[in-house]
Structures are given as structure tokens and as C-alpha cells.
Amino acid sequence: MTKSTTTTEQILLVEQHGDVLVATLNRPRKGNSLTTELINALATLADGLSREDGPHRNARAVIITGAGESAFSAGADINTLVGLDQAAAEAQMLRGQQVFTALEDSPQVIIAAINGVAFGGGLELAMACDLRVASPHARLGQPEITLANLPGWGGTQRLPRLIGRGRALEMILTGEPLTAGRALDIGLLNAVAEDPLAASFGLAAKVTGHSALAVDACKRAVYDGERNGIAHGLQTEAALVGERCASPEQRQAVQQFLNRKKTN
């Protein structure tokens, strides 16, 4: 396995393992809480994944995790919220939303390896990933209500889409966290594993074995329908299937399938 390492001011460590990129939130003494600088580092990562000439454009999968053993991310650094006026708070929320959506829109599959608590903005970051794997001791929650506030980086939108409105409102309105087992039961997690990073590599391998363009198209169809409604999503789905059917890659895959059937 080849491995190369880059750093973004050391607060986000980016390691490449073959065609899988591992991005580690690197503030373990602060619960990997999300500062403005860390949000900006995630924005740089998303840009590098999506631009045609981006430094990470050739990555096939991305795993986001947290440094240490106790936290994926405890959420937004509370110090960044002190003294904010209304306009500044709204701008900060819009910035986080923009960055998380940019990660969601990247052509690669993005997997959250949740190695500990994922609270507030940390859970919102995990929900902006396509898939989520957590350790058995992980806890997941949206505790903003305990600070007389509400989730602001997508939690009120992504959480109901993942687990349903009633369960999402219960989490948001009580602020009580879920165990990893409960989160798996209600669909917030895809898997629970003793080593979530290793399990995430295994999940990435199952996805990267397929066409990169098809993976991107699948993501685009799903998220378009979520954002713009089922009618628009169905149009997008049909258009993307048309694009794929016209591609040499897809035609070759179909022919190979037919050839295998003839020999069996």
C-alpha cells in the first residue's frame, strides 16, 4: 500500500493510501472541535476533491475521522460562538453549510469513521458524508438545544432525511445523545465496528471496485432528489442513466456481462 501525507496547518491531516484519502480532524485535546480554521481546511479538501485539476481529484474514496480515541468531533468550538451578533452567527452557519455541502457533492464516496463522540457540528459533518461507520463506544447527538439554540450546519435538514422526522425531532428537542447501537438500529449509521477506520477501508473497497463515474452519478441523483423533490430527482436520474448508457465504459461493462453469461 502506498502512502503519502500532506497537512493543512496540522489541524487537518490528509494521508493517501492508494486511491483512498484519509482526512483526520487533528485537535484531540479539544475533542477535535470545529474552529473556523478547521472548517476552512475542510473547504480546501472539498475543493481539491472536486476541481478537475484538484490535488485529490484522482482519489476514489475519502474517509474522515478524528484524532485520538475519544472524539470524532465534539462539534463547533464554543469559543467561536462567543459574542456573535445575529449577522455574524448567520454567516458562520452559512459557511459551515456551504463546506459540508461541498463535501457531500464531491464525486468520491465519503465515509465518516466515527471513533468517538460526534456531537453538534461533528454529527452534522458525519451526516454530510455518504456513509457512516462508528465504534461501539461512540455517541451521537445534537445538543444545541441545551445552549438555547438549534443545529445550524445542516442538522435540521439531513437528520430527518436519514432517520425520519419524529426521531430527528426527538434528538434535536431533547439534546440527548444516542449510543452507536441505537444509531445503527434507526439508520443513522451504516455499521458499528471495533475498528471503524479499518471497517471504513473495507467499505471503501466495495465502492471503489465500481466505476468512478457511476458512483458520482448515483450520488448526484440521490442528492438532487433530496434537495429538489422527487420529480426533479427522477428527471436527473433518467438523464444520468442516459449519459452512462452512451459511454464506452458502460457499453463495455454490459458486453463483458453478456460474454460471461454465454460461457456459463
Of these residues, 104, 144, 176, 243, which one is catalytic? 144
pTM: 0.94
pLDDT at 43 over 70: yes
pLDDT digits (tens, 9 = 90+) for 89-115: 999 999 999 999 999 999 999 999 999
Closest CA to 1 of 194, 193, 201, 200: 201
pLDDT 10s digits, 160-170: 999 999 999 99
- Please say if the pLDDT value at position 155 is more than 80: yes
Structural domain boundaries in the chain: 3-208, 212-263
What letter does residue 160 receive in the DSSP assignment? H
- 4 bridge partner residues: 16
**Residue 237: active-site member:** no
Mean pLDDT of 130-150: 97
Catalytic residue status for 144: yes
In the chain, the largest separation of any two C-alpha atoms, in whole Å, equals 71
H-assigned helices in the chain: 36-50, 86-104, 121-128, 155-163, 165-174, 180-185, 196-208, 212-228, 230-245, 248-263
Report, at the CATH architecture level, how domain 3-208 is classified. Alpha-Beta Complex (3.90)
Task: Give mean pLDDT, residues 203-229.
Answer: 96
Residue tagged active-site, from 124, 226, 237, 249: 124
Q: Is pLDDT at 3 greater than 90 in this prediction?
A: no
Mean pLDDT of the chain, nearest integer: 94
Mean pLDDT of all residues in 173-183: 98
The span from the CA of 176 to the CA of 145, in Å, is 10
Q: Are strands 191-192 and 131-134 parallel, antiparallel or unpaired?
A: parallel
- Residue 41 corresponds to which cell in the numbers above? 481546511
Calculate Rg over the CA atoms of the chain. Answer: 19
